[in-house]
């Protein structure tokens, strides 16, 4: 089945540690995105990538890093520099064309204590 | 800066009634507007898209309208069912992203709909 896999579903880390969230897709979509969702807030864009080896900062990129070495994969690293890392992280993909919708994974809930 | 507002955080209606959710935006009109459904602990799922030159779009029990004069989109669910209970998000694409394959979508905070029997 085609889809987007985010793993793990739940992740716990101690403050000061870096953590990497996985996102894999087999939809053959060119564009991939990382969003963050906090209670009572809309989705906020962290990073996005249109092609392999290229990515751009979104609205809240500070404290995060990404890589796009393969079309299928777009991992997100939450670094210790991120002030409030506890959140629900969503990965999404999109095919070519300005009207195409986003396809989301089922998210990773990160808790940092 | 652009701002998106969804009318209320929560909407409770009785089964069989029509649910109407509102999405308002500021400044200039987006190229198009999308509606998504999100269930607890899951990623959003795309429902409908309406372009700036379209007034209305329908899909089964769903209807979306787009009024660029009022800067508003309405999302209707007719004959609502308890299974329609979820959070509904509107998302807009603006300006320089119009012709872009990438197209950055901006999301509202969502409206949590509860349909009770």
Does residue B3 carry a pLDDT above 90?
Answer: no
User: pLDDT-based confidence at B26, cuts 50/70/90?
Assistant: confident
Q: On the CB side of A105, how many CA atoms lie within 13 Å of its CA?
A: 30
Cα A68 to Cα A51: distance, rounded to the nearest angstrom: 8
**pLDDT of res. B99:** 47
- Chain A residues near residue B103 by CB distance under 8 angstroms: 94, 98, 100
> Got the DSSP string for A8-33?
-SEEEE-TT--EEEEEEE-S--SEEE
Closest-CA distance, A78 to chain B, in angstroms, reads 19
Q: Which residue has the tokens 């906020």?
A: A44
- Give the tens place of pLDDT for each residue, A52-90: 999 999 999 999 999 999 999 999 999 998 999 999 999
Q: Which of A4, A102, A109 sits opposite B46 (nearest CB)?
A: A102
Which of B95, B102, B104, B111 is best to mutate for the A interface (most A CBs within 10 A)?
A: B102
Question: Is residue B81 a contact partner of residue B115, using CB atoms and an 8 Å limit?
Answer: yes
- Give the tens place of pLDDT for each residue, B47-85: 999 988 899 999 999 999 999 889 899 999 999 999 999
Cα A103 to Cα B9: distance, rounded to the nearest angstrom: 24
């Amino acid at each position: 089945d085609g889809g987007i896999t985010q793993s793990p579903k739940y992740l716990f880390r101690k403050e000061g540690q870096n953590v990497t969230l996985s996102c894999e897709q087999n939809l053959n979509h060119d564009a991939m995105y990382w969003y963050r969702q906090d209670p009572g807030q809309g989705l906020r864009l962290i990073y996005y990538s249109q092609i392999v080896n290229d990515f751009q900062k979104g609205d809240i990129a500070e404290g995060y890093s990404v890589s796009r070495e393969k079309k299928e994969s777009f991992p997100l690293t939450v670094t210790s520099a991120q002030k409030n890392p506890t959140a629900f992280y969503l990965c999404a993909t999109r095919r070519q064309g300005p009207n195409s919708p986003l396809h989301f994974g089922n998210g990773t809930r990160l808790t940092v204590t | 800066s652009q701002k998106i507002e969804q009318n209320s955080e929560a909407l409770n209606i009785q089964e069989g009634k029509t649910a109407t959710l509102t999405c308002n935006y500021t400044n200039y009109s987006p190229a198009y507007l999308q509606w998504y459904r999100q269930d607890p602990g899951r990623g959003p799922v795309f429902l409908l898209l309406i372009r700036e030159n379209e007034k209305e779009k329908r899909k089964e029990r769903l209807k979306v309208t787009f009024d660029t004069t009022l800067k508003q989109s309405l999302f209707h669910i007719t004959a609502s069912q308890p299974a329609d209970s979820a959070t509904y998000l509107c998302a807009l694409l603006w300006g320089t992203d119009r012709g872009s394959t990438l197209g950055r979508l901006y999301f509202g905070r969502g409206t949590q709909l509860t349909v009770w029997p």
